[in-house]
Amino acid sequence: MVRALISPRRTRHCLQLVSNRNLTTGDGIGKLPRAIESGALVFRAISGAILCALTLIVMVACASHSALTAAPVVPTASAAISTPPPVSSENASALAAESRAAASSSSAKAAAAQAAAARAAAAQAAVAKAAAAKAAAEKAAAERAAAAKAAADRAAAAQAPAAPASAPPRAQASSPTAAACTPGYSPCIPPGPDVDCAGGSGNGPRYVQGPIIVTGSDPYGLDSDHDGIGCEK
């Protein structure tokens, strides 16, 4: 641009302007001294050159200012700000629906997790309850067995002293040739009060040690199974 302003055409125009102003003033030729005429010519030439130079400087400054003003401004990377597209009502409705769906899904997942935890806790409680019931049943069975055993032991202990050691010799005769024997028993059982088997559940007062062969009637009831042998045990 500066080269276009300071072109040969403009330069010739300025030089021609200076020459015209210097050379067309011939009013005092022949009247003034040659030295004054030469000084006036030099002064006029210098002032014309200065005027042309100032004119060129002003033109260059104006052209530069116009070029700077008309130059487009290129946005830098830091100045570029992306503006989000406007959100329409349909997009807003869709976003709201998606948000509600996400919230509903989260609530459903939380409810499902809570229900699963509740079921697991209920199953664990049922297992613990069943184990406690089984332990209680086993304990009750053990207590019943212990009580039954204790009752059997007490019954056996109560029955054992009831059989006197001297009963069988007193009830049984020493030989078949005794004066009197209860008929139907072998060996001989002398007549007298009731006779029971020793070690049994009878209450006496006499006891006989078996086995006793029952050959006829059984007034003392020693043969309970009626197989002909009494006091087998």
In a domain, 147, yes or no: yes
The pLDDT of residue 169 is 40
Show pLDDT as tens, one digit a residue, over the chain (233 residues).
444 445 556 666 655 664 555 444 444 444 445 666 677 778 888 988 898 888 889 888 888 777 666 655 555 544 455 565 565 677 888 888 888 899 988 889 999 999 999 999 999 999 999 999 999 999 988 888 888 888 778 777 766 544 443 444 444 444 444 458 888 888 888 888 899 988 878 888 899 888 888 887 888 888 888 888 888 87
The pLDDT of residue 179 is 54
Q: Are 33 and 58 part of one and the same domain? A: yes
Residue where one domain finishes, among candidates 132, 162, 192: 162
Residue where one domain finishes, among candidates 54, 69, 84: 69
Q: Are 152 and 210 part of one and the same domain? A: no
Residues 180 and 190 sit within 8 Å (Cβ to Cβ): yes
In a domain, 118, yes or no: no
Q: Are 144 and 187 part of one and the same domain? A: no
Q: Are 169 and 221 part of one and the same domain? A: yes
Domain range for 132 = 124-162
In a domain, 20, yes or no: yes
Q: Are 146 and 172 part of one and the same domain? A: no
Q: Are 196 and 216 part of one and the same domain? A: yes
In a domain, 131, yes or no: yes
Residue where one domain finishes, among candidates 31, 49, 69: 69
The pLDDT of residue 128 is 93
In a domain, 49, yes or no: yes
In a domain, 87, yes or no: no
Split into its structural domains, the chain has a count of 3
In a domain, 106, yes or no: no
**What is the length of the chain?**
233
In a domain, 176, yes or no: yes
How far from chain centre, in Å, is Cα 116? Answer: 11
Q: Are 157 and 218 part of one and the same domain? A: no
Q: Are 147 and 185 part of one and the same domain? A: no
Q: Are 34 and 45 part of one and the same domain? A: yes
Q: Are 194 and 219 part of one and the same domain? A: yes
Q: What distance in Å separates the CA atoms of residue 141 and residue 151, rounded to the nearest whole number? A: 15
Q: Are 184 and 230 part of one and the same domain? A: yes
Q: What distance in Å separates the CA atoms of residue 162 and residue 199, rounded to the nearest whole number? A: 8
Note the pTM of the prediction, 2 decimals.
0.27
Q: Are 63 and 28 part of one and the same domain? A: yes
